[in-house]
Chains A and B, each alone.
Chain A
Amino acid sequence: AQSVTQLDSQVPVFEEAPVELRCNYSSSVSVYLFWYVQYPNQGLQLLLKYLSGSTLVKGINGFEAEFNKSQTSFHLRKPSVHISDTAEYFCAVGWGAQKLVFGQGTRLTINP
């Protein structure tokens, strides 16, 4: 079965600092990888996705992620964060019968 591990439950950073949110998955087959963002009291919004092709994927709000097959990772990065990036971030892998399996989430807190 697929599993997704987000290595940090909470990540505090200062405004305008860079950030990396880590995600590792377990799979022996091709995968489809996603990052979603959940702002307080809202649903999930797709940030970016990797389906195939270039391993560096750019998403909305200045985020990008890199698919690393050998390390089974799909870390999310942003070079300079803003207060408005404060949210919960979820890594997910698409697998099998139309399922998305989610990681535990990482709470990103931006301090002024």
Chain B
Amino acid sequence: DTAVSQTPKYLVTQMGNDKSIKCEQNLGHDTMYWYKQDSKKFLKIMFSYNNKELIINETVPNRFSPKSPDKAHLNLHINSLELGDSAVYFCASSPGLGNYEQYFGPGTRLTVT
């Protein structure tokens, strides 16, 4: 049983395309996150949602749009992909606001050519 799952694991696409990454957690958590890990392994939060409500939006370009249809899912849609978007994107979840212990998915490696 995978606690936090992401699809796809690998995504190779061309500049200008639009793509989505899906995330699901079966932990019953209220809060979900998207992180970006760059080529130097630096991890930076992008968004967080609590019970489908946007909590954190960390100055991410508006080409990135998260969507949370329910509290178990948080998808990330990226429009007009750029070379600089190439990275590993991690989804994570935590029990709720005030609980910082986060559980991470396996990551999606996005390569923009």
Contact = CB atoms under 8 A, between A and B. Distances in A.
B101 A34 contact: yes
Interface in A38-95: 38, 41-46, 49, 88, 90, 94
A97 B42 CA distance: 20
A43 B100 contact: no
B42 A105 contact: yes
B104 A45 contact: yes
Nearest to A107: B41
B105 interface: yes
A42 B107 CA distance: 7
Interface magnitude class on chain B: 20 to 34
A32 interface: yes
A100 interface: yes
Given A43-B90, A43-B107, A32 B100 contact: yes
A47 to B, nearest CB: 12
Contacts of A44: 43, 90, 92, 104
A99 B45 contact: yes
* Interface residue SS majority, chain A: strand
A46 to B, nearest CB: 6
Interface in A1-38: 32, 34, 36, 38
Interface of B: 4, 31, 40-45, 48, 50, 55-56, 90, 92, 94, 97-98, 100-107
Interface of A: 32, 34, 36, 38, 41-46, 49, 88, 90, 94, 97-100, 102, 104-105, 107
